[in-house]
Amino acid sequence: MTVSFHEQVAIVTGAGNGLGKSHALELARRGAKVVVNDFGGARDGTGGSSQAALDVVAMITEAGGQAIAHGANVADFEQVQDMVRLAMDTWGRVDVLINNAGILRDKSFSKMSIDDFKMVMDVHVMGSVNCTKAVWEIMREQNYGRIVMTTSSSGLYGNFGQSNYGAAKTALIGLMNTLVLEGAKNNIRVNCLAPTAGTRMTEDLLPPEIYKMLTTESVTAGALTLCHDDAPNRLILCAGVGGYSVAKIVETDGIFLPQEAQTPEEVVANFARITDSTDQKELENGAKQGEKFLQKAMAYVASQQ
C-alpha cells in the first residue's frame, strides 16, 4: 500500500523547523497542498518571524509542490481562524491537521513560575484546541478529517523539570479520547504521536553522537501513518530512532467490596487483587468504568439471594 495525500490539504503547525518541517515536506512530497504554519519564535516561545515558514514553502514549491505560509500564533484563536480561512480561500478544504507547535520552559516545579506553566499550557493545549476547533466544522461538513495531536513520553510517564510540558501533553490524550467519539460519525479520526527526535527542542539535552541518530524523518513516518485515508483511530503511536510502539491506557478488572467492607483498610487489604493486571483492558469511553462497577455490584447482589 502506498500512503498518498494526493489532492488533500494539510495544515502543519510549528512547521518552520524540526519535526513540523519534516512533516510538511513529506506531506507535500506525497501530494498534499500544505499550509506551513510557524510563529517563528524561540524554543521558549519568545520572538517571532515568518522567515522559517517561508523557507519551507520555498523548498516545497521548488520541488514542484504547493504550499503557503502563515505565521499564526496557535495560542491566539483569531490568528488561527485567519490561517484556516487562507487555506479555504486558496484550496477550498482542509483534510489533515497536525498539531505540532510547541515550546519548552523547563524548570523544577518549585522554581517554575505560574506564567511559565500557563504559557506552555496555552501553546500546547489551547494551541491544539484552537487549531482543531477552527477546522472541526469544515471536516464535519466534508465528512472527512484526520487530526494528529503531538503528545510526549513526558506526558505519558513524567520527566524531571517538565511539569508544565508533561501536563500539557497528557491533556492532549484526553482531548483525543473525546474527539474520537464526537468525530466518528463524520469520518474524523484523531490520533496522538509521541515523538523522540533530534530537534532544537532537544539538541542541548543530548550527546552529539546520540542526537545524530534522532532523525525527524523517522518520526514523520509515524506521523503520516496517523493521518492518511486508512489511518487508525484513537492510537498513541510512539516513534523515534527507527523504533515504533503503541502506548495504551488500560484499567484492571478490579474487585467489588460490599458496603460494610468499603473502608480504606479493606481496600489496602485487597490491593493485590485490585492491581492484578490479568484481565486489564482499554475502555471505549468513560461510562464503561461505571458500567463495569455496576455489573460487579449486581453480580454480588445476585450471589447473595
**φ and ψ at residue 202, rounded to 5 degrees:** -125, -5
Q: Is 300 a catalytic residue?
A: no
Which amino acid appears at position 135 of this protein? Answer: V
Integer CA distances (angstroms), 279 to 112, 245, 251, 260, in order? 40, 21, 9, 26
- Grid cell for residue 91: 484550496
H helical segments located in 184-236? 208-211, 216-225
Integer CA distances (angstroms), 247 to 31, 149, 195, in order? 30, 14, 12
Half-sphere exposure of 214 (CA within 13 A, CB side): 18
Catalytic residue among 157, 165, 211, 244: 165
Residue 246 belongs to what H/E stretch? strand 243-247
**Hey, what long-range contacts does 48-54 have (CB within 8 A, 24 or more apart)?**
48/73, 51/16, 52/16, 52/17, 52/21, 53/15, 53/16
Q: What is the pLDDT along the chain (305 residues), one digit of tens a residue?
A: 999 999 999 999 999 999 999 999 999 999 999 999 998 755 544 445 578 999 999 999 999 999 999 999 999 999 999 999 999 999 999 999 999 999 999 999 999 999 999 999 999 999 999 999 999 999 999 999 999 999 999 999 999 999 999 999 999 999 999 999 999 999 999 999 999 865 555 666 667 777 777 789 999 999 999 999 999 999 999 999 889 999 999 999 999 999 999 999 999 999 999 999 999 999 999 999 999 999 999 999 999 98
Burial class (CB in 10 A: 0-12, 13-18, 19+), 23: buried
- 8-state DSSP, 107: B
Domains of the chain: 9-247 (3.40.50.720), 259-304 (no CATH)
pTM of the model: 0.92
Torsion over CA: 217, 64, 143, 73 (sign): positive
